[in-house]
């Protein structure tokens, strides 16, 4: 490993802490946003999520035009396929069952939520399990690939991104203005220190932009879960990880370096230090630390574990499904909603469609479980 990893690690910690702090203060839950839409017909929390994607779209395009985005489209976005839809659907089910997504789980852990800790264990387990089915799944993904579409919608149309992002941003701005005038962006809360979710949405869009500028990639954490799952698997079944083709893959293998720290952009799911570890693990640690700091300042920091056993089971099951789906898709909701969707990446558009379907199905399952 060459370059200056220390600066990259420090930046990741800082960005993660900001994200964790604001997400805890607003209880910014993307899983809850989709769940509430289908369970209660409420879009209260979904609006800030859409605002996050729209704000990121504007920020990314302005930064790209100004020459501040080193690689475009961002690394690890590729050819769309039906696997994006299936992965998104399974992720949506898992997200609703677990009661949190891959980053929501982290900020809840920081505040002492024991169920979120179980979800994290499930995420690592599901990520490792994917390696067992990878050869079959890759064949299915390749068979349903759509290379003619390219990576993004603008690339498919052969136009500069701003010809699409500008009108879309104007429409989004008008919609947000409508929401603001009707008070539909504000949640009425009397809790000390509460941060309105729309403010958190803007902060997360900014964090995602800074991540792109520093690392070439938007926020993402799930490959590190795979690395952790692989490491644990190797402890349980020594030598098995080396036998699995998936852990020998190197999806990030570019003749480029991170703008901050000049770390070579080389990495994969195998346990060990690489660019992915240096980019993602500090963000993970930062989210947990930022949330813990927020909870501490509010006097809310403490282990909360007194919940019914079936909630722990749902948390574990949901975590396993999300871990599995994040490899099948590939990647997770924050990567696609705050990274790929704003640049109109086909993979993210298809993933989001699957996520909606999965969240609907997950909501039906929750209703059955509570009946």
How far is the C-alpha of 200 from the C-alpha of 18, rounded, in Å? 10
Quote the mean pLDDT of the chain.
96
With a pLDDT cut of 70, the percent of the chain lying above it is 99
DSSP string, 6-22: HHHHHHHHHHHHHHHHH
Higher pLDDT, 296 or 3: 296
- Number of other CB atoms surrounding residue 238 within 10 Å: 9
Q: Which range of residues forms the domain containing residue 52?
A: 5-370
Res 308: pLDDT = 93
Q: Which residues are CB-neighbours of 83 under 8 A, at least 6 positions away?
A: 137, 140, 141, 144, 328, 329, 330
> Rounded mean pLDDT of 128-144?
98
Q: Does 190 have pLDDT greater than 80?
A: no
> Rounded mean pLDDT of 156-174?
98
Q: Does 26 have pLDDT greater than 80?
A: yes
How far is the C-alpha of 282 from the C-alpha of 288, rounded, in Å? 10
Res 1: pLDDT = 62
Res 371: pLDDT = 67
Contacts 24+ apart (CB under 8 A), 145-148: 145/79, 145/80, 145/81, 146/79, 146/80, 146/81, 146/346, 147/79
Res 192: pLDDT = 84
> Rounded mean pLDDT of 142-171?
98
Q: How many domains does the chain have?
A: 1
128: left (phi over 0), alpha (psi -120 to 50) or beta: alpha
Tens of pLDDT, residues 196-251? 999 999 999 999 999 999 999 999 999 999 999 999 999 999 999 999 999 999 99
Higher pLDDT, 192 or 362: 362
Tokens of 22: 């604001």
> Rounded mean pLDDT of 41-66?
98
Tens of pLDDT, residues 260-314? 999 999 999 999 999 999 999 999 999 999 999 999 999 999 999 999 999 999 9
Tens of pLDDT, residues 340-358? 999 999 999 999 999 999 9
How far is the C-alpha of 321 from the C-alpha of 354, rounded, in Å? 14
DSSP β-bridge partners for residue 279: none
With a pLDDT cut of 90, the percent of the chain lying above it is 96
> Rounded mean pLDDT of 167-183?
97
Best CA proximity match to 286, nearest among 363, 224, 371: 224
How far is the C-alpha of 59 from the C-alpha of 45, rounded, in Å? 22
């Amino acid at each position: 490993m060459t370059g200056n990893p220390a600066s990259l690690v420090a930046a990741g910690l800082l960005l993660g802490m900001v994200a964790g702090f604001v997400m805890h203060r607003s209880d910014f839950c993307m899983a809850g946003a989709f769940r509430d839409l289908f369970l209660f017909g409420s879009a209260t929390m979904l609006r800030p999520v859409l605002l996050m994607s729209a704000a990121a779209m504007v920020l990314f395009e302005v930064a790209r035009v100004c020459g501040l985005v080193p690689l475009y489209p961002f690394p690890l976005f590729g050819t769309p396929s039906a696997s994006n839809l299936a992965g998104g659907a399974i992720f949506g089910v898992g997200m609703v069952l677990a009661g949190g997504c891959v980053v929501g789980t982290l900020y809840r852990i920081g505040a002492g939520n024991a169920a979120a800790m179980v979800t994290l264990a499930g995420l690592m387990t599901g990520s490792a399990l994917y390696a067992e089915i990878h050869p079959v799944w890759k064949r299915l993904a390749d068979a349903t690939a759509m290379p003619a579409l390219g990576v993004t919608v603008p690339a498919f149309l052969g136009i500069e991104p701003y010809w699409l992002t500008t009108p879309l941003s104007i429409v989004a701005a008008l919609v947000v203005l409508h929401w603001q005038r009707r008070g539909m962006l504000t949640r009425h809360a009397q809790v000390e220190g509460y941060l309105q979710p729309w403010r958190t949405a803007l902060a997360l869009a900014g964090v995602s932009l800074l991540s792109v500028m520093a690392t070439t990639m938007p926020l993402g954490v799930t490959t590190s879960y795979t690395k952790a799952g692989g490491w644990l698997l190797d402890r349980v079944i020594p030598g098995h990880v080396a036998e699995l083709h998936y852990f020998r893959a190197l999806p990030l293998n570019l003749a480029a370096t991170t703008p901050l720290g000049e770390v070579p952009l080389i990495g994969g799911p195998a346990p060990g230090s690489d660019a992915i570890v240096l980019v993602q693990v500090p963000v993970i640690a930062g989210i947990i630390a930022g949330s813990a700091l927020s909870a501490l300042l509010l006097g809310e920091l403490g282990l909360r574990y007194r919940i019914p056993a079936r909630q722990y089971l749902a948390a574990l099951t949901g975590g396993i499904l999300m871990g599995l789906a994040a490899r099948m898709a590939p990647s997770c909701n924050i990567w696609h909603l705050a990274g790929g969707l704003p640049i109109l990446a086909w993979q993210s558009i298809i993933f989001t469609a699957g996520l909606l379907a999965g969240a609907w199905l997950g909501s039906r399952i929750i209703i059955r479980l509570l009946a």
